[in-house]
Amino acid sequence: MSALDRRSLFRVLGVGAGCVAFSEADRARAAALEAAPSTLGPGLGSSSTLKWDKAPCRFCGTGCGVEVATEAGKVVAVRGDEKSPVNKGLLCVKGYHLPAILYGADRLLYPQLRQSDGTLKRISWDEALELIASKYREALDTNGPESVAVYGSGQWTVFDGYAALKWVKGGLRSNHLDPNARLCMASAVTGFLTQFQSDEPMGCYEDLELADDVVLWGANMAEMHPVLFSRILESKRARPTVRIVDIATRRTPSSEYADLYVELRPGSDLALANGILHLLVKNGKLAQSFIDQNCVYKRGIEDLDAIGYGCYGEQAERYTFVDEPKDSNFEEFQRFLEDYTPQKVSEISGVSVAQLELLAALYGDSKRKTLSLWCMGVNQHTRGTWMNNLITNLHLVTGKIARPGNNPFSLTGQPSACGTVREVGTLSNRLPADMVVTNPEHRAKAEKIWKLPEGTIPSKPGHHAVDMFRAFQRGELACLWIQTTNPWVSLPNLHRYQRKPGDGKFLIVSEVYPTPTTDQADLILPSALWVEREGVFGNSERRTQQWNKLVDPPGEAREDAWQIVEVAKRMGMGHLFPWEGDWHEPMFEEYRSFTLGVGKDLASYAQLKTTRGLLWPVVDGKETRYRYAGGHDPYVAKGRDVHFYKAKGYGERAAIWLRPSHPPAEVPDAEYPLWLCTGRVLEHWHTGSLTRRVRQLHQAMPRSYVELNRADASALGVKSGDLVRLKTRRGAMEFEARIDGRGQPPRGSVFVPFFDESLLINELTLDAMDNISKEPDYKKCAVRVERVERGA
Amino acid sequence: MRAALSLAAFALLAACTGESSSGEGVAVPGRAGALKSSASVRAARRLYDGAPPTIPHPPLGAACTQCHNSRGMHVEGLGFAPPSPHEETHGMSTFSRCNQCHVHALEGGEFVANSFAGLAQDLRRGERLYDGAPPVMPHGMLMRENCSACHDGPAAREEVRCSHPERARCEQCHIPSVDDSSFTRP
């Protein structure tokens, strides 16, 4: 293949020509490329000792393919994998700087036990594992399964998550297993489950090129999913008729590329989406025959007082609200929407009636394909499930769903939020492949596959993430094991969770670097990171990606799954992990048996090893790019264009939900007059424990700051670079002010990134939660900003 | 445009004369420096060979491509802004988001030291079939579509400077070597 071919392929794969954006010819060329041994050529560092292998990137949920160069037992470079259908050779700045995350000087190398004077003492793995086993055993014997918990991660590999799930639910007989993904995409899970009775999107990244209109709902993709944003920009380059719409509460780098920027007030997205639905009904833009054949109507509890926010009164200790769905119908839906007139929605949201009509025209245009994308703005929301429902409603009522280019698509922030959390089911109420602990048949299936006696798995859901830490704080959990995550930076309202010395509880943290979370730990275990171990991740588009161990971990670091398996064996639960020798493949194949035949079918381990990942369901070795779509998904009944076959409880139809607009949990007032929104930045990934150890990334973004609107700043007499004090009802902290930087919050609001462990903005945030997903809202609370006199 | 440029030039001058907090201690090379743009300067700005270089000057408030266009730009008295090796695109594209891959070194120091030793720069020359034959490209083409960015002009290192940039169709004679294998009949 000539250079020119490859160059144009890079572009063409991204966009395709004309309306048929991804032609069969392109696909054939992509397949040829996949089969080719190497395309970048030996030129770039082609010494004979250098070895290049595939792996997914360790950072976000995009799941870019990287090729990793190793030499003399060390990773020395990465390059974007041209064979990966995800990124086609491109990476972002984090991805390019990925190899250095392995080599920070303060890598944790040995198990360390905290002594009574607070210092850490190196112990052996044997001592550490025996200690964990005895602590868990003691807790089980004394207070039962209610007193033990594991807090996991969307950065766990499938192995780590599966081992934890099997050990906690099948061994400890507890459901107190929940992941950090509860803080980031739980609302998308409950969104998809309430509408399709099966989690995860129907579309795939190819939609980015096939859509005519790309609508971002509160997602700053240019910084958070840069490679996917590049695909959108390339699509627009090839087809100038493509339009990008950015619906946001803050002007971001993504807004710069938008054809239409819709700025709305925090929390008014529910009203906006209902306003669009109102206009679609009024203007006769409903795809009535599609709805009649494929949809049902549902509504749940809507009373604000009954629902609450999970942070006031009794709910501030335990938030256990359960929605009660009931049937609805088209007439009720119409009546419900009557309230959301353009004028009223405009008043609530600050969005002009003209823009509202534009949005309705866009969703209502049956000739143009529409892709809706969302991430934290919608998910970290006190009514995040509702907002997920409303965005998907826009696609259901217009029939713009489960067709190439026409889909609602939730983006994820962690590399295996989908693969490990959502598919393995490492949530307090879940089991693998869409199953739940509350369903006796599901428990029975798991017990059968796991060869456990009937009734082993408890039926009561365990603590969700925030309640797990509240319970730990109350002293109800004797043992808590945290792996691959940093909750003492990422939990909201962090002040609550500072441990008292000698609280008698046992906190284990498996990590790669010291963090504010290891500072809280009684026992610190050193973990293997990324290509220091074998793994499988699942990305946002249902792509399962496998990689091999390429280098040895430093010191005595071991993979998280091994740590769990070894503790289980020491607790007499070795029967859960019966495999001799290398257990990776047999463990995966056992997990895979949950997925076969139920529309969640994963590829075999052997097939995953030789491909750049496959989109499930994989049937007869073939991936499925569009779920529920006739001609794509083998589970769809013959002759059907669209078939929501997973929604057995709704008669194999998708649910259109009636969801009202509710105000946020805390709104600005005279004392705290501004909105505080928190989030991420391009250079750092989440709590920064990995990216801050890379000099280039640290130097580009050395510390956190607060973005102010110019008008608010001048009213306070603050210039860019001045120090300001942010005060909320939870605490106060000083930040450097930035005005008209990369993000520009509208008047009356401020934005703070959360990566900086020395400026813990989460000490100021509110622990209000979504009523259904229990995901906290990090985007909306009230704050006061004061100028700080230098040297004062 | 002129006003924006002179503002940019002023900020660049500050960067060059060390009046800013610019990062790695690698000065932006002046005209003389650029002619000898050394391998060590190149290496200092990359985590490993193949990583996108960091930006050695502070943000200048102008679009990157105003100076770093397909030909580069000489700013009198200051130095040469090297051209972009990426394919020149009009309108928005992957390459309109420069900061997606290239970040400023805004200040010095480290959060924690790091012992990563990246792939060293590959200074091999392209293989020639015989003396006088055109060398093959010893590297891939992805995001290196503009050959003259590195092989021509003031920013080109002497070792790889092309003697005949006027023959604009580089790939007519220089082809990339994409594979180590030999041809065998199927």
Query: Do residue A104 and residue B114 have CB atoms under 8 angstroms apart?
Result: yes
Distance CA A167, CA A577 (A): 9
Half-sphere exposure (Cβ direction) of A167: Cα atoms closer than 13 Å: 33
C-beta atoms of B51 and A77 within 8 A: yes
Say if B134 falls within a structural domain: no
Within-domain flag for A442: no
State residue B166's pLDDT score: 86
Q: What is the DSSP string of B45-62?
A: T-SSTTSPPPB-S---SS
Q: Is B180 an interface residue toward A (CB < 8 Å)?
A: yes
The CATH number of the domain holding residue A529 is 3.40.50.740
Q: Give the per-residue pLDDT at A224.
A: 96
How many structural domains compose chain A? Answer: 4
Pair A454, A543 in one domain: yes
Q: B171 at the A interface (CB within 8 A)? A: yes
Please report the DSSP string for A161-195 in residue order. HHHHHIIIIIIS----EEEGGGGTTHHHHHHHHHH
For residue A779, give the nearest of A307, A266, A225, A221 by alpha carbon: A266
The pLDDT, as a whole number, for residue A437 is 98
Q: Is A414 a catalytic residue?
A: yes
- Low-confidence spans in chain A with pLDDT less than 70: 1-48, 791-792
Single pTM value for the model: 0.90
Query: What's the mean pLDDT in B16-41?
Result: 45
Gap from B160 CA to chain A (nearest CA, Å)? 14
Tell me which of A91, A695, A720 to substitute to probe the interface with B (most B C-beta atoms closer than 10 Å): A695
CATH number of the structural domain spanning residue A33: 2.20.25.90
8 Å CB contact between A266 and A378: no
Q: What pLDDT, on a 0 to 100 scale, did the predictor assign at position B171?
A: 84
Do A654 and A681 share a structural domain?
no
Active site residue A224: no
ipTM for the whole complex: 0.80
| Three-state DSSP class for residue A679 | strand
pLDDT in tens, A306-342: 999 999 999 999 999 999 999 999 999 999 999 999 9
Buried b (16+ CB within 10 A) or exposed e, A451-483: ebeeeebbeebbbbbbbbbbbbbeebbbbbbbb
CA separation for the pair A298, A193 (Å, rounded): 13
Residue B35: pLDDT above 80? no
Window from A49-58, B1-10, B173-182 with minimum mean pLDDT:
B1-10
Cβ neighbours of A764 (radius 10 Å)? 23
Q: What's the confidence (pLDDT) of residue B63?
A: 85
State how far the Cα of B180 lies from the Cα of A480, in Å rounded to an integer. Answer: 52
**B104 Cα to chain A: minimum distance (Å):** 5
Amino acid at the residue B41: V
Give pLDDT, residue B10.
Answer: 44
Q: What is the pLDDT of residue B91?
A: 67
Cα–Cα distance, A411 to A433 (Å, whole number): 19
- Whether residue B117 is contained in a domain is answered as no
Q: Please name the member of B105, B176, B179 whose beta carbon is closest to the beta carbon of A3.
A: B176
Positive or negative CA dihedral for A184, A189, A194, A195?
A: positive
Residues in chain B: 186
Count Cβ–Cβ pairs < 8 Å, chain A vs chain B. 192
Alpha carbon of A46: minimum distance to chain B alpha carbons (Å): 8
Domain assignment present for residue A634? The answer is no
CA gap A96, A697 in Å, rounded:
10
Which of A625, A658, A691 is the C-terminal boundary of a domain?
A: A658
Q: Which pair of tokens denotes residue A212?
A: 């005519």
Residue B31 has pLDDT above 80, yes or no: no
CB neighbours of A35 closer than 8 A, spacing ≥ 6? Answer: none
Q: In terms of C-beta density within 10 A (0-12 exposed, 13-18 middle, 19 or more buried), how is residue A14 classed? A: buried
Count Cβ atoms within 10 A of the Cβ of residue A541 and give its class: 0-12 exposed, 13-18 middle, 19 or more buried: buried
- Of the residues B26, B90, B114, the best mutation for testing chain A's interface (the one with the most A CB atoms within 10 Å of its CB) is B114
Whats the size of chain A, residue-wise? Answer: 792
Domain count, chain B: 1
Q: What is the pLDDT of residue B173?
A: 87
Q: Cα separation of A781 and A764, whole Å?
A: 9
Evaluate whether residue A715 is within a structural domain. Answer: yes
Determine the Cα–Cα distance for residues A780 and A784; give it in Å rounded to an integer. 13
In what order do the strands lie in the sheet containing A51-56?
Answer: A51-56, A65-71, A74-80
Q: Which domain holds residue B30?
A: 24-105+144-162
Task: Select the more confidently predicted residue: A2 or B37.
Answer: B37
Whether residue A231 lies inside any domain: the answer is yes
* Distance (Å, whole) CA A590 – CA A576: 11
Q: What is the mean pLDDT of residues B130-150?
A: 86
Rounded Cα gap, residues A445 and A707, in angstroms:
51
Residue B84 lies in a domain: yes
Q: What is the pLDDT of residue B77?
A: 66
Indicate if the alpha-carbon torsion angle B112, A752, A686, A625 is positive or negative: negative
**CA atoms A310, A313, A318, A322: torsion sign:** negative
pLDDT of B38 reads: 67
Contact across the interface for B177 and A43, Cβ inside 8 Å: yes
Strand order in the sheet with A535-538: A535-538, A543-547, A614-615
Domain around A18: 3-103
User: Which CATH number do you get for residue A381?
Assistant: 3.40.228.10
DSSP state of B131: T
Residue A600 included in any domain: no
Distance CA A171, CA A763 (A): 36
A74/B48 Cβ within 8 A: no
- Residues in A 604-623 with any Cβ partner in B closer than 8 A: none
| A window 203-222, beta carbon within 8 A of B | 222
In a domain, B119, yes or no: no
Task: Tell me: do A229 and A373 sit in the same domain.
Answer: yes
Single residue among A84, A103, A122 that ends a domain in this structure:
A103
The pLDDT value given to residue A6: 39
Q: B25 pLDDT exceeds 60?
A: no
Residue A529 sits at the chain B interface (C-beta within 8 Å) = no
- Pairing between β-strand A479-483 and β-strand A148-152 as defined by DSSP bridges: parallel
Same domain, A92 and A219: no
3 state SS for A343-388: HHHHHHHCCCHHHHHHHHHHHHCCCCCEEEEECHHHHCCCCHHHHH
Q: What is the predicted pLDDT for the residue at A191?
A: 98
Q: Tell me: do A454 and A576 sit in the same domain.
A: yes
Whether A779 is catalytic is no
Residue B124 has a pLDDT of: 67
- Specify if B31 maps to a domain: yes
Nearest residue in B to A243, CA atom? B92
Cβ–Cβ under 8 Å, residues A575 and A451 = yes
How many other CB atoms are there within 10 angstroms of residue B3's CB atom? Answer: 7
Residues A364 and A219 placed together within one structural domain of the fold: yes
pLDDT of residue B141: 84
Given the residues A64, A204, A375, A376, select the one marked as catalytic: A376
